[in-house]
Amino acid sequence: MSDIFLKAAQKKIRFATQKGLLTTEDLFDIPMKGKTSLQSVASDLYSEIKESGEISFVDDTPSTDSTLNLKMDVVKEVIRIRKDQEASRLKAAETRQKNQLIDQIIAEKQNEELRNMPIEELVKLRKGD
């Protein structure tokens, strides 16, 4: 992670939305898509950057307002973080589901072993309690 969040905090960056101004922290709470979302904030910022001047993909020095660029960088970083978190949640859910299936299969095999034992052995096992 870079220092863009520190810069955003120092500059007291706010993001304009239909619901009002949002802080950088608020970006972690709004949906990824929808009316007031990361998608809409990024789209609005992109439009502002386009309107503010020509975007150069070759020059190192930005031709647009550095605050707008910082805002866009913050939004892109929040989107990246949120996507990574969602991917981690999905992977954890898949792992939990797979482990539950494995536990179920183990229990079934253990039950099958017991079913195949002679009655005498089962009685001995039961008395072992």
pLDDT confidence bin for 63, thresholds 50/70/90: low
Residue 87, domain member (yes or no): yes
Residue 123, domain member (yes or no): no
Split into its structural domains, the chain has a count of 1
Strand 15-17 and strand 20-22: pairing?
Answer: antiparallel
pLDDT at 29: 94
- When computed from its CA atoms, the radius of gyration of the chain, rounded to whole angstroms, is 28
124 Rama class: left (phi>0) / alpha (psi -120 to 50) / beta? alpha
More confident residue, 60 or 97: 97
pTM of whole model > 0.75?
Answer: no
Residue 84, domain member (yes or no): yes
**What's the rounded mean pLDDT across residues 44-61?**
77
As a whole number, the mean pLDDT across the chain is 89
Residue 126, domain member (yes or no): no
Collect all residues with Cβ–Cβ distance below 8 Å to 34 and sequence separation of at least 6.
Answer: 40
Q: What are phi and psi of 12, to 5 degrees?
A: 50, 50
Q: pLDDT tens-digit profile of 88-115?
A: 999 999 999 999 999 999 999 999 999 9
pLDDT at 65: 65
Residue 102, domain member (yes or no): no
Residue 80, domain member (yes or no): yes
| Domain enclosing residue 31, as ranges | 4-93
Residue 46, domain member (yes or no): yes
Residue 100, domain member (yes or no): no
pLDDT at 1: 46
